[in-house]
């Protein structure tokens, strides 16, 4: 039998098609990976909850998904705060009052009043206790007043150790618990 060269050409074409298919898969995977990295870097993050200051809303060792695309914090937002060199870990707290809002905490009645309205806080645990910080009646520009939901066991804006938070130190807003999976829930 005589070799016509067509068989050799068919083998080369099959190898070339396989290489192209493999290249297509690899480039698709690389593109998807790049998109995931961009989203996780600039839009969402996963943060570990360390401690019990936000109990019962958030539990120690849960992982939460945060977004850093919200513009300004609002009363009631649960946020992650970077407090620079003062703390090793980011803090998680609830925004109680923002710049320009009036704030009054009645430690005897266990109530928090913002802009003349008592906050409805079904999420809190424990009595709201006084710490060593002077609480301003009006929140200064670019600052927020934060507290943990577990009021008796939270270091927050009521104390000088944390104090008022500069808005630029807010990393993002907590959107949901993502781990453990059986605890998945949205945070309001």
pLDDT in tens, 41-60: 667 888 999 999 999 999 99
Distance CA 59, CA 41 (A): 25
Structure tokens at 159: 């104390």
Q: What value does the mean pLDDT take over residues 165-186?
A: 93
Distance CA 102, CA 108 (A): 19
- Residue of 15, 27, 74, 93 marked catalytic: 93
Q: What value does the mean pLDDT take over residues 63-70?
A: 86
Coil, strand or helix: which one is 114? Answer: strand
86, 108 Cβ separation under 8 angstroms:
no
Q: What value does the mean pLDDT take over residues 162-182?
A: 93
**Is a pLDDT exceeding 70 seen at residue 86?**
no
Burial code (b: 16+ CB inside 10 Å, e: under 16) for 53-92 equals bbbebbeeebebbbeeeeeebebebbbbbbbeeeeeebbb
Average pLDDT, the chain: 86
- Residue of 27, 52, 53, 173 marked catalytic: 53
Q: What is the DSSP letter of 139?
A: P
Q: What value does the mean pLDDT take over residues 159-173?
A: 91
- Residue 53 annotated as catalytic: yes
């Amino acid at each position: 039998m005589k070799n016509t060269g067509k068989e050799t050409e068919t083998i080369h074409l099959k190898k070339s098609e396989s290489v192209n298919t493999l290249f297509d898969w690899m480039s698709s995977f690389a593109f998807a990976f790049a998109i995931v990295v961009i989203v996780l870097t600039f839009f969402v993050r996963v943060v570990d909850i360390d401690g019990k200051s936000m109990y019962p809303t958030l539990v120690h060792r849960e992982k939460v998904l945060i977004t850093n695309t919200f513009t300004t914090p609002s009363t009631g937002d649960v946020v992650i705060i970077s407090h620079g060199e003062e703390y090793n870990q980011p803090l998680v707290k609830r925004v109680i009052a923002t710049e320009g809002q009036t704030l009054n905490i009645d430690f005897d009645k266990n109530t928090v009043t913002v802009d003349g309205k008592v906050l409805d806080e079904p999420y809190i645990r424990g009595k709201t206790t006084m710490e060593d910080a002077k609480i301003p009646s009006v929140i200064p520009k670019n600052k927020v007043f934060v507290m943990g939901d577990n009021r008796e066991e939270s270091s927050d804006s009521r104390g000088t150790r944390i104090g008022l938070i500069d808005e630029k130190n807010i990393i993002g807003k907590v959107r949901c618990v993502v781990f453990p999976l059986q605890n998945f829930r949205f945070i309001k």
